[in-house]
Amino acid sequence: MKSAVRAVLFDLDGTLLDTLPDLHACVNTVMAAHGYPAVSLEETREAIGNGARRLMERLLPKGAPLEERLAEFRSIYAENSCALTQVYDGARETCEELKRLGCRLGVITNKPHEATVRVIKRYFPSDIFDFVAGDSGDFPVKPDPSLARYAMLSLRVSPAETLFAGDGETDFLTAKNAGMRPLSVLWGYRTKEQLLAVGASEFVERFDEILRYI
């Protein structure tokens, strides 16, 4: 018998927030500044999921200086992370209901930590999440389970009591690596076929469907 869910951890990009338009715009600001070819929205979508470094590694032209362009991207995105971003339908309401039901809530993402804190503060009530962490350099990025384990330790819940909701292959693998219960959402940046290919088996198509797992 499965343990009762006492905590829900969320991925951020493609799960709680549609951040793709801002990420795409900021990447292309870097590209334009150096005369590189612009990247498409779809190319940006496919490159999302493993943090800013991998995003730029995947999108920069061969031979471009990664560290310099990555620093530029981080600076530009820090100032423009909320210009075009939107909350997914039902995200706030579902999180509020989860809190009412007694769940602890957290966010673990490969997005830079400063940008993570900024967008969560901008788009969600200040007291909704009990734990928020992005890539600060203190932990390896997902799918390494270290940050997820730290989140559960901070929330005082076990892996069996924790549901991890995310839209990507990285999120499913993080949940699996940390022993959490994975839940793949289908409104984000990956298709069901892509998620099935890494072993995902539990899916939701609307935010409020998460409530049935509680």
Q: Where are the domains of the chain?
A: 7-18+86-213, 20-80
Residue type, 150: Y
For the residues 166-175, what does the mean pLDDT come to? 97
Is residue 1's pLDDT more than 90?
Answer: no
Contacts of 213 (CB under 8 A, 6+ apart): 5, 163, 181, 183
Tens digit of pLDDT for each residue in 106-142? Answer: 999 999 999 999 999 999 988 999 999 999 999 999 9
- Average pLDDT, whole number, for the chain? 96
Better pLDDT: 125 or 210: 210
Let me know if 11 is a catalytic residue: yes
- Percent of the chain whose predicted confidence (pLDDT) is above 90: 92
Give the pLDDT score at 149. 98
Q: Which of 11, 18, 135, 171 is catalytic?
A: 11
What is the average per-residue pLDDT within 145-167?
98
pLDDT for 193 = 97
Whether residue 20 is predicted with pLDDT greater than 90 in this model: the reply is: yes
pLDDT band at residue 81 using 50, 70 and 90 as cut-offs? confident
Q: pLDDT per residue over 22-51, tens digit each?
A: 999 999 999 999 999 999 999 999 999 889
Give pLDDT, residue 28.
98
CATH code of the domain occupying 7-18+86-213:
3.40.50.1000
